[in-house]
Amino acid sequence: MKRKILCVVGTRPEAIKMAPVILALKNEPWADVRVLATAQHRHMLDQVMSFFGIKQDIDLDIMRPNQALTTLTARLLLEMDGVLNAEKPDIVLVQGDTTTVMTVALACFYHRIPIGHVEAGLRTWDMQNPFPEEANRVIAGKLARWHFAPTEGSRQNLLREGVPDSDIIVTGNTVIDALLMTAAKDLELGIELDPNKRLVLVTSHRRENFGEPFRNICRALRTLAENNPDVQFLYPVHPNPNVKDVAHELLGPVSNFVLCDPLEYAPFVAAMKRAYLILTDSGGVQEEAPALGKPVLVLREETERPEAVEFGVVKLVGSNYDVIVSEAQRLLDDEAAYREMARGVSPYGDGHGAERIVNSLREYFN
Ligand code: UD1
Ligand code: UDP
């Protein structure tokens, strides 16, 4: 008997990390794979879906400009009744810690449909950081039946919360599956850069940084660019207006700072490979960059991804102007310090995460 598996994606990172799972499930004769896009992100989600050649069966087209968390949650919950009544899946797979994940998990709980949580067990143990993602993943984790934990550390977090060991499967993070699938292709960045200049790649979008912390980050980036005219900076700017408007105001006029729209996944992987150093508050980039041997300075006070910090290849610098400027300058000036952080390690996965998830579902259903 075929089992109906509803795979949910809402935002760019969910689509990147769920794509390998969807593609692997589609090869399973016992699985009737359905894809639900809440489209919490529109353009950034579409970019990823078309890159991986995945077409959604249902699209809620939920995104609105500058959406508020409560409205987004309420609208999603209302839509999910109709989806679950019509689809009646045997299992729903969600990925990560977005509003889509939390809301779909809650709706499935009300409908008594079991949930598999991909990228389970990441914790900072601080509800305000990252906001609202820590709460989203704690809630999804409370409601999930299968916890696909990327690392042994995330397994330990779940055990500490009382999740039975038998419900946790350590799989590695599927972002490394996606990265390896992509990095193996011929990649074009599509943006003209000076081949003789080092590149600093930047991304930033976290809600807890909105306002003064994000302005500090931009001021620090501007100082770095002005003090290092021989280095070029590339920042694909997140379309959230709280980010975009400030980034363009503070960094737009700086001549060695290139601001561009969000890059498609393959060009972004090309940018990571081309980069000398990466400054980011992104979760996914913290996982991918170490696998590519690129040092990362994390523009956050805390991280739920401590493994690469422990390896010494990722460092937290928060949103403090002085710390960001001095740590980045040190890596630009001190080659020994740079080399220490530019070791290629991949604590988050080996490229077989999706395979392990599918194996455990196959075992369960057959
Ligand atoms: C969301 C997730 C965050 C994740 C991030 C990945 C929540 C609460 N936040 O944050 O965990 O790290 O995605 O990028 O779930 N927008 C567009 N086009 C797009 C996407 C976004 O214009 O394709 C703009 C819209 O104005 C939208 C706003 O960005 O309202 C915010 O989108 P939203 O998904 O609420 O939050 P993100 O900051 O993107
Ligand atoms: N990414 C991308 N284009 C960009 C910036 C990032 O494809 O312009 C990819 C990146 O490689 C990673 C994912 O998007 O896989 C991270 O998404 P984001 O930073 O938006 O979310 P987070 O991981 O912080 O939840």
Cβ 17 under 6 angstroms from ligand 1: no
Q: Would you state the structure tokens that stand for residue 2, as one six-digit string?
A: 């075929």
The verdict on whether 330 is a catalytic residue reads no
Q: How far is the CA of 43 from the centre of ligand 2 (A)?
A: 13
Residue-wise pLDDT tens for the chain (366 aa)? 899 999 999 999 999 999 999 999 999 999 999 999 999 999 999 999 999 999 999 999 999 999 999 999 999 999 999 999 999 999 999 999 999 999 999 999 999 999 999 999 999 999 999 999 999 999 999 999 999 999 999 999 999 999 999 999 999 999 999 999 999 888 899 999 999 999 999 999 999 999 999 999 999 999 999 999 999 999 999 999 999 999 999 999 999 999 999 999 999 999 999 999 999 999 999 999 999 999 999 999 999 999 999 999 999 999 999 999 999 999 999 999 999 999 999 999 999 999 999 999 999 998
| 119 flagged as catalytic | yes
Cβ of residue 14 lying under 6 Å from some atom of ligand 2: no
Q: Which amino acid is at 137?
A: R
Q: Do domains 3-173+349-365 and 198-341 have the same CATH topology?
A: yes
Residue 350, class by beta-carbon neighbours within 10 Å (0-12 exposed, 13-18 middle, 19+ buried)?
A: middle
Which is the catalytic residue, given 14, 28, 79, 133?
133
Neighbour tally for 240: CB within 10 Å: 16
Which tokens go with 122? Answer: 């990441």
Find out whether 282 and 203 touch, Cβ atoms under 8 Å. Answer: yes
pTM of the entire predicted model: 0.98
Q: For the structural domain made of 3-173+349-365, what CATH number should be given?
A: 3.40.50.2000
Ligand 2 atom nearest 48 alpha carbon: 7
And the tokens for 263? 């890059």
Looking at domain 198-341, which of 3.40.50.2000, 3.20.20.330, 3.30.70.3000, 3.40.190.10 is its CATH number?
Answer: 3.40.50.2000
Domain ranges for the chain: 3-173+349-365, 198-341
